[in-house]
Amino acid sequence: MLVRVVDDYLNNAQLPELNGEVIAVIAPHAGHRYSGAVAGYAFAAVKKLQPDLVAVIAPFHNLSNHPLLTTAHDAYGTPLGDIEVDKSALAELSSHLDIPITLIFADKEHSLEIELPFLQRALTGEFKLLPIMIRAQEVNVAKKLGLALAQVLRDKNALLVASTDLSHFYDQTTAKLLDAEMLKRFESFDPESIFEAEHTGKAFACGHAAVAAVLWASRELGANKVQILRRATSGDVTGDFKSVVGYGAGVVLR
């Protein structure tokens, strides 16, 4: 069932021309029923790629005193199989940071895990995972993480994934305006402008720090363009336009 659903989202994505090498993708993380069709666009852009390592950067929605977190387990399991966590890459990342990465067991965070079946179906061959969840959504934390990620990934065959939804619980008309602004900030390739939008109420994304970190990393790795591929809201699926969540998919190109 999961294979069929994810494959349908991937196969139904009608991508525009992508002029460049995909360094990273930006994808939503709601339940597949709600945001899967949008996420399909992001992951369709990496179909048949064979990275050895995938760094998934996601927000941590639960309460925590720790700025950065990762799983204490050796692998993530989905109905499609296990994905090994690259402990050596995590150790290397920690060595480039003056911010601790806290290991946690039994976390309830969905924003990272929801991306994994898409990666398992889109990518070719086995890959290891570098999972990071951001609780402290601050400019300095995101920038330090992004620069450290670039150091770790520079000489590796790797892919970056930024996990985020957009505005939450506005009516459809308002959500579309807010989401258009945030997606414009993504496309500007200016990570600090993402925080400016969030802090001034011009636009919202629950994983804004994750996107910013991935953009800082991608820029260090030579990327020079962000291209938005798709946007929608939960209302487009449910028909309830009074209170919606926004979703967007994009790629970062070199």
Q: pLDDT tens for residues 44-64?
A: 999 999 999 999 999 999 878
CATH topology of domain 20-145+152-242: Protocatechuate 4,5-dioxygenase; Chain B (3.40.830)
Single pTM value for the model: 0.97
What confidence score (pLDDT) does residue 158 get? 98
Q: Give residue 116's pLDDT.
A: 98
In this prediction, the residues of the chain whose per-residue pLDDT falls under 50 are: none
pLDDT digits (tens, 9 = 90+) for 92-132: 999 999 999 999 998 888 999 999 999 999 999 999 999 99
- Domain ranges for the chain, please list them: 20-145+152-242
Among residues 156, 223, 215, 164, the alpha carbon closest in space to that of 190 is found at 215
- For residue 85, what is the DSSP state? B
Hey, how many other C-beta atoms are within 10 angstroms of the C-beta on 53?
18
Q: Please report the pLDDT score of residue 91 as a whole number.
A: 98
The C-alpha atoms of residue 249 and residue 225 are separated, in whole angstroms, by: 14
